[in-house]
Amino acid sequence: MNTIDVELTVNGERRSATVDPRKTLADVLRDDLELTGTHVGCEHGVCGACTVLIDGQAARSCLTFAVQVRGSQITTIEGLANDGELNPLQQAMVDSHGFQCGFCTPGFLMQITALLADNPTPSEPEVREALSGNVCRCTGYQSIVVGVLRAAGGSSIATSAH
Amino acid sequence: MSTEVAQRYVGASVARSEDPRILTGGGKYVDDVKLPGMLHAAFLRSPFPHAKIVSIDASAAREAEGVVLVYTGEDLEAMIRPGPYGISLMMNQDKPAFSCLATDKVRLVGDPVALVVAESRYLAEDAIELIDVDYEDLAPIATYEQALDPTNPPIFEDLGSNVLAESDLHTHGDVEGAFARADHVLSVRINQHRHQNVPMETRGFLASYDREADHLLVWSANQGVHLALHILAGRLGLSPEKIRVRTADVGGSFGLKIGATREEVAVAAASMALGRPVKYIEDRYENLMASGQAREEYLDVEAAYSDDGDILGMKVHMVVDAGAYPGMAAALPTMVEGMLPSAYRIGALEFRSTVLVTNKATYVAYRGPWAVETFVRERVVDLVARELGMEPFEIRMRNVVTRGEEPTSMITGRSLDGVTVRESLERMAETVDIPAFRRRQEAARAEGRYLGLGIASYIEAAPGPRAGQSPLGLEQMRMELDGDGKLLVYTGQMPHGQSHETTLAQIAADEFGVRFEDVRVVVGDSDLVPPGFTGGSRSATMAGGAALTTARALRAKVLELGAHLLEANVSDLRIEDGAISVAGVPSSAMGLAELVAAVQEPGRLPEEVDTELKVANSYDGGAGGWSGGTHCAIVEVDVETGLVTFERYVVTEDCGKLINPAVVDGQVRGGVAQGVGAVLLERAAYDERGNFLAATFMDYLMPTTMDVPNIEISHLETIPLDPDVNFRGIGEGGMIVAPATIVNAIEDALAPLGVRIHEQHLPPARILELAGVVEPE
């Protein structure tokens, strides 16, 4: 099969790979660039685990071919912390016990990053709407929603028990 | 001694040790493990539910680009010994016989027929397309009726029919007397539908066989490394010392990832044949279709009750659709029978069961596998209330046991020691003003709006009371102090979201006297950790108790050594913040790292002193105990769209002493979310010809942020049964009781339309049928 050279900027760093045209961005990130923080949950664009930022926009890396995004700026979960310090969103998720098994987590954090860039102080319904395309099987979502509201510096939801 | 221990961490929502890695992309799941020379596997799966395999031509696949190996079922027969796979290891079934990959016939859509190993997963999947299988259709068995029809062909010839197991009639208490005394008998068939675990990480397995060393290294997404090791050893004919099973982070499981499956054994056999690492990561289509499903069963119930609302007795016939290959189904009826009376004074029960084989995915464990006992009982309670025109809450208060009064055990035998369902109902009535809701409901009905309130209660043996029981089992644990004075905790628990790296460290830190940060919990390596697995909501008591008692034993050893080093009496010594000191003499403090070094110094201590800073221990569950509680949902049903929305969802639960309240709340909410999915969305649907209809997330609908309500939780930390260990499991409770709670609320909402609900799956289309808005199909 013919291969194609792909140049990307990933988490601020120039990266390149020589890949099959059919190889998904998720697989290139994970296999070729060894950034395994991005997870693949359904490979058909529904669960959102593979969400990354492509030029600032949240996108499904399982439905994107790497060759489609040559030259783009990609941000993955590995790009959120600054020099090993958790960023405010990550810290808010620690404080809220946001996640459990951690598999959906990268996709949620990237989707939330995109949300907060657009709308730094979302309401609870806005958070729920924005995250409705990401599936978590462990938490029932409440702790994640609380984490987003906490990261946004807003008040917590009324029924949060802790 | 325990009374001296300051509880600094237990009881607090300590931040999770797991979080820094999972929030930064630093988690390591099985698909993140890469080994040199690693190959990738894919499976050809049957498109038919039931068919004879006439021939397989894999020649083109064997020649395809990047393909290293193709195995059919026949190829694997010589390499693999018959025996159990997956959870059926625990079930002691000698029949039916079957092969690792399908040989003579296929028995479900998704049955693995051939294995391709190639240089990449892409190339392996390409080659799958080139395998030509000639099938001859057989009559599919896809319904209870088809499985019970003796004229249909058996799915497994050695069973002789499609009945896997049939029990005798078991009678508990005076059943005929109860029915003779009853004013009324309710007769219903209550259905649960097939749905499934769906962890966000699918199954995954990496086998790496080293020919020179004759050693098999396995990475497996799993709930317990030793169960997988045991099955691999048995099926592959390897001695257990030749196998090491490791588990990385696990992306959820909910009962699915237990032992080693047929696909995993096939992949291990391929690695052994090739002497190279082979990785198999199930895709979502395979996960939904073939990893395993659960919950499909019905109970025919006759319930005898009085005019006053006393539930006197029940007669039950349980019928289970076990799917094709052996899983958990054969063990279910006994569990359901034992638990059906729960915390209710139901004085008589007659029970029999039939377990059927069908051309569907294997019935596996799913969070609270026996939960149909709660669904059926709590449905029956509400149906009786409705027949009598009584408030369902009042019927519950009338029928649940009171602590300290007879009966103190279920009619099926189990002790109800420490059960607090009554207290959880009382707490619920304080939290939700039921009379005020009834007034609001009536006003809403006058406006054509349908509000409903549903309540349901449960108990779970997590791990169960010791009183009157067989042993609760032993939980093993090892602890050691390393050279830095850090406490290492080796557990057979294999957390997959439950936060054991945090909770076990909290207990150990408090009991031993080190900082939480100085405890490291080691999991998931058969070379390092003792046997065990995570499941059955047992880890809070069993592993929590093991952590407490093992830390205590190691602490005693350290105090003994400290007494020598500090020339003091043990009773005068303290271990706090990772240092040992004479009480009241801060200047005497010796850091634990210093102690470890001193202990190892030759000649420092008398020779007879045991200087090994390690303890291996096992814990027997102490007094054990029940978890349990009551849930309440307030819903509105839109009879134009069939949509159900939650106004409120309230939980009052008792899992004893909380180790980490935020972790407990997370377990409760996650379980409720799965219950919301079960009732309103999820169904592993097959048509009557056995075709699988829900193989993508467009068809198998998972609950999202828009479906799961905020959940209010209050904890009753009552009734300590044990002097030391009163943590009890909470992993399964939410999923056990939420379906009944939600269905009770929906029926309550639709009651003015005369609706009675005898099933669990209520998507909008079904709501509209029940409400009489559309004609049933």
> If you write DSSP's letter for every residue of B228-280 in order, what string do you get?
HHHHHHHHHT--GGGEEEE--B----TT---S--HHHHHHHHHHHHHTSEEEE
Prior bond of B36 cis (ω within 30°): no
Mean pLDDT of the A116-125 span = 96
- CB A140 to CB B29 under 8 A? no
Question: Residue A144: its chain B contacts at CB < 8 A?
Answer: 705
Q: How confident is the model at residue B467 (pLDDT cuts 50, 70, 90)?
A: confident
Tell me how close the Cα of B643 comes to any Cα of chain A, in angstroms: 17
Compute the average pLDDT of residues A25-30.
98
* Residue in A with minimal Cα distance to B196: A137
Q: How far is A109 from chain B (nearest CA, A)?
A: 8
Say if CB B51 and CB B138 are below 8 A apart.
yes
Tokens 């289309």 sit at which residue? B765
Q: What is the DSSP string of B750-775?
A: HGGGT-----S---HHHHHHHTTSS-
Q: Three-state secondary structure along B517-558?
A: HHEEEECCECCCCCCCCCCCCCHHHHHHHHHHHHHHHHHHHH
Class of domain A4-79: alpha beta
Q: What is the mean pLDDT of residues B142-151?
A: 96
Ordered by start, the domain boundaries in chain A are 4-79, 88-151
- Count of domains observed in chain B: 3
Which CATH code of 3.30.360.10, 1.10.150.390, 1.10.150.120, 1.10.3720.10 fits the domain covering A88-151?
1.10.150.120
- Six-digit token pair at B462? 């997590």
What 3-state class would DSSP assign to B352?
A: strand
Interchain proximity B199–A101, CB inside 8 Å:
yes
Tokens at residue B553, please? 């034993």
Pair of tokens at residue B170: 């078991």
Instruction: Say yes or no: B432 and B530 in one domain.
Output: no
Kindly tell me the burial class for residue B586, based on how many C-beta atoms sit within 10 Å of its own C-beta (0-12, 13-18, 19 or more): exposed
Parallel, antiparallel, or unpaired: how do β-strands A51-54 and A73-75 relate?
Answer: antiparallel
Does any domain span residue B173? Answer: no
Reply yes or no on whether the pLDDT at B405 is more than 90.
Answer: yes
Residues B604 and B626 in one domain: no
Q: Which amino acid type is present at position B674?
A: Q
Cα torsion for B736, B738, B741, B747, to the nearest 10°?
Answer: -110
SS3 state at B712: strand
Peptide bond into B463 cis (omega under 30): yes
CATH number at residue B385: 3.30.365.10
Of B22, B198, B199, the CB nearest to A99: B22
A74 forms beta bridges with A10, A54
Could you give the residue ranges of the DSSP H alpha helices within B275-359?
284-290, 332-339
Per DSSP bridges, beta strands B487-491 and B475-481 are antiparallel
Alpha carbons B440 and B632: distance in angstroms, whole number: 16
B567 & B634 share domain:
no
A123 vs B: CB within 8 A: no
Indicate which CATH number applies to the domain containing B132.
Answer: 3.90.1170.50
CB atoms within 10 A of CB B78: 7
What whole-number percentage of chain B has pLDDT above 90?
Answer: 94
CB contact under 8 A, B19 and A136: no
Please list the helix, strand and coil fractions of chain A in percent, rounded to the nearest 5, in that order. Answer: 35, 20, 50
Nearest CA of chain A to the CA of B260: how many Å?
21
Question: For residue B464, what are the contacts with CB-CB under 8 A and spacing of at least 6?
Answer: B414, B472, B624, B625, B626
Say if residue B560 is in the same domain as residue B611: yes
Q: Given an 8 Å threshold on Cβ–Cβ distance, is B24 in contact with A77?
A: yes
Closest CA to B133 of B42, B48, B40: B48
Q: CB-based burial of residue B527 (10 Å sphere; 0-12 exposed, 13-18 middle, 19+ buried)?
A: exposed
Show residues of chain B in contact with A63, CB under 8 Å: none
Given a cut of 80, whether residue B471 has pLDDT beyond it is no
What does the alpha-carbon distance between residue B725 and residue A146 come to, in Å, rounded to a whole number? 32
Q: Do A94 and B698 touch (CB under 8 A)?
A: no
**In this structure, are B637 and B598 located in the same domain?**
no
A162 falls in which pLDDT band (50, 70, 90)? very low
Chain A residues with CB inside 8 Å of B711's CB?
140, 142, 159
Domain boundary among B577, B604, B619: B619
Residue-level pLDDT at B92: 78
A100, closest residue in chain B (CA to CA): B497
pLDDT band at B713 (very low <50, low <70, confident <90, very high): very high
pLDDT, mean over chain B: 96
A159 pLDDT band, cuts 50/70/90, is: low
Mean pLDDT of B200-226: 97
Q: Please, are residues B653 and B718 in contact by the beta-carbon 8 Å criterion? A: no
Of B233, B267, B290, the residue at which a domain comes to its end is B290
* A78·B25 Cβ contact <8 A: yes
For chains A and B, CB pairs below 8 A equal: 191
Report, as an integer, the average pLDDT of A72-100: 96
| Cα dihedral sign, B661-B664-B668-B669 | positive
Whether pLDDT at B310 is above 90: yes
Determine the pLDDT at residue A84: 85
Give me the pLDDT at residue A158, please: 57
Whether A40 contacts chain B with CB within 8 A: yes
Closest CA to B619 of B522, B536, B550, B523: B550
| Number of CB atoms found within 10 A of residue B21's CB | 16
Burial of A71 (0-12, 13-18, 19+ CB in 10 A): exposed
* Nearest by CB: B198 against A22, A129, A137: A137
> For residue B3, what pLDDT is reported?
41
Chain B partners within 8 Å of A99 (Cβ): 19, 22-23
* Tokens (6 digits) for B526: 């058969």
**CA angle at B414 for the pair B413 and B420, rounded to the nearest 5°:** 135
Same domain, residue pair B63 and B207: yes
Nearest residue in A to B666, CA atom: A139
- Using DSSP, state whether A68 is helix, strand or coil: helix
| CA B449 to chain CA mean position, Å | 38
Tabulate helix, strand, coil % of chain B (nearest 5).
30, 25, 45
* B164 assigned to some structural domain: no
Tokens 């393909």 — which residue?
A: B67
Gap between the Cα atoms of B526 and B439, Å rounded: 60
Least CB–CB distance from B200: residue in A23, A47, A128: A47
> Is the per-residue pLDDT at B777 higher than 90?
no
Q: In Å, how far are B337, B362, B378, B583, B690 from B371, measured between CA atoms? A: 11, 18, 11, 52, 25
Residues A90, B662: C-beta atoms closer than 8 Å: no
Residue pLDDT, tens place only, B91-133: 878 889 999 999 999 999 999 999 999 999 999 999 999 999 9
What is the per-residue pLDDT for B469? Answer: 66
The verdict on A5 touching B (C-beta cutoff 8 Å) is no
pLDDT at A115 over 50: yes
CB < 8 Å to A87, chain B: none
B234 with B367, same domain: the answer is no
Provide DSSP, B427-471.
Answer: HHHHHS-HHHHHHHHHHHHHTT-EEEEEEEEEEEEEEEE-TTSS-
Q: pLDDT, tens digit, for every residue of B554-590?
A: 999 999 999 999 999 999 999 999 999 999 999 999 9
The answer, yes or no, to whether residue B5 has pLDDT greater than 60, is no
Alpha helices of B330-420 — where are they, by DSSP H?
332-339, 372-388, 392-399
pLDDT at A14 over 50: yes
Q: Which residue has the higher pLDDT, B723 or B6?
A: B723
Contact of B222 with B534, CB cutoff 8 Å: no
Tell me the nearest-neighbour CA distance from A132 into chain B, angstroms.
5
- Report if residue B56 sits inside a domain: yes
State the nearest Cα–Cα gap between B300 and chain A, in angstroms: 32
In B129-188, which ranges are continuous DSSP H helix? 144-148, 175-181
**Does pLDDT of B466 surpass 90?**
no
What pLDDT does residue B472 have?
80
Q: How many angstroms separate the CA atoms of A59 and A64, rounded?
A: 8
Question: Which residues 6+ apart lie within 8 Å of B777 measured at CB?
Answer: B769
For residue B90, name the pLDDT band (cuts at 50, 70, 90): confident
- For the segment B162-202, what is each residue's pLDDT rounded down to a tens digit? 999 999 999 999 999 999 999 999 999 999 999 999 999 99
Q: Which residues pair with B555 in a beta bridge?
A: none
- List the domain range (segments joined by +) for residue B660: 297-469+622-770
- Is A141 close to B705, i.e. CB distance below 8 A? yes
Last residue of a domain, one of B585, B619, B653: B619
Omega of the bond leading into B776 within 30 degrees of 0 (cis) = no
Sheet holding B712-715, edge to edge: B450-465, B624-637, B644-654, B712-715
- Rounded-to-integer distance, Cα B502 and Cα B491, Å: 13
- In this structure, the answer to whether residues B95 and B215 fall within a common structural domain is yes
Does any CB of chain B come closer than 8 Å to the CB of residue A97?
Answer: yes
Please report residues of B whose CB lies closer than 8 A to that of A137.
198-200, 252, 254, 670, 673-674, 702
User: Is B265 a domain residue?
Assistant: yes
- Could you tell me if B328 and B436 lie in one domain? yes
Whether the CB-CB separation of B79 and B269 falls below 8 Å is answered with yes
* Contact (CB, 8 A) for B58 and B113: no
- Say if residue B121 is in the same domain as residue B219: yes
Structure tokens at B285: 């289509």
CA distance A97 to B463: 25
The length of chain B in residues reads 777
For residues B459 and B349, membership in a common domain is answered with yes
The pLDDT value recorded for residue B603 is 87
How close, in Å, is residue B675 to chain A by CA atoms?
Answer: 10
Query: B405-424: buried (b, 16+ CB within 10 Å) or exposed (e) per residue?
Result: eeeebbbbebbbbbbbbbbb
What's chain A's length in residues? 162
In chain A, which residues have their Cβ closer than 8 Å to the Cβ of B741? none
Q: What are phi and psi of B594, to 5 degrees?
A: -65, -40
Partner-chain contact B252 A99, CB within 8 Å: no
Residues of B whose CB is below 8 A from A97: 13, 15-16, 662-663, 665-666
Q: Which residues of A, range 44-63, sit inside 8 Å of B by Cβ?
A: 44, 46-47, 49
Contact at CB, A81 and B698, closer than 8 angstroms: no
Choose the closest CB to A100 out of B24, B666, B706: B666
Lay out the sheet containing B585-591: strands in order across: B573-576, B579-582, B585-591
- Interchain proximity A138–B497, CB inside 8 Å: yes
Whether residue B484 lies inside any domain: the answer is: yes
Phi-psi region at A124: left, alpha or beta (left = phi > 0; alpha = psi -120 to 50)? alpha
Pair (B605, B682) in one structural domain: no
Residue A156 pLDDT: 66
Query: Cβ contact (<8 Å) for A47 and B697?
Result: yes
